[in-house]
């Protein structure tokens, strides 16, 4: 009889634990969904920023080349057309 009561008590505790876990999981679902959405939005923003950085780097590269070309033009000796 004592063994039967102990078994019933263990079974009731397992069921109670399972019910608590189900409740916790159900309560966490909306929060998890919100976190997943926030993560997705953040990753999209990071991708946008990386694309902007790449574009600006390319623009800087072109401007550096243009500046180098202009510096070479300024540094080159002037050729006097009348001196020929």
**pLDDT per residue as tens digits for the range 50-68:** 999 999 999 999 999 999 9
Domain ranges of the chain: 2-72
Higher pLDDT, 84 or 38: 38
Is pTM, for the whole model, over 0.85? Answer: no
SS3 state of residue 1: coil
Reported as half-sphere exposure (CB side, CA atoms, 13 A), residue 39 has a value of 6
Identify the three-state secondary structure at position 77. Answer: coil
5-43 residue pLDDT tens: 889 999 999 999 999 999 999 998 888 899 999 999 999
- What pLDDT score was predicted for residue 17? 95
Q: Provide the mean pLDDT of the chain.
A: 91
């Amino acid at each position: 009889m004592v063994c039967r009561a102990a078994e019933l008590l263990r079974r009731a505790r397992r069921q109670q634990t399972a019910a608590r876990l189900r409740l916790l999981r159900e309560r966490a679902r909306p929060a998890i969904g919100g976190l997943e959405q926030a993560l997705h939005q953040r990753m999209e923003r990071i991708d946008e920023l990386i694309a902007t950085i790449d574009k600006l780097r390319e623009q800087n590269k072109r401007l550096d080349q243009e500046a180098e070309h202009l510096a070479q033009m300024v540094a080159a000796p002037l050729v006097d057309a009348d001196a020929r």
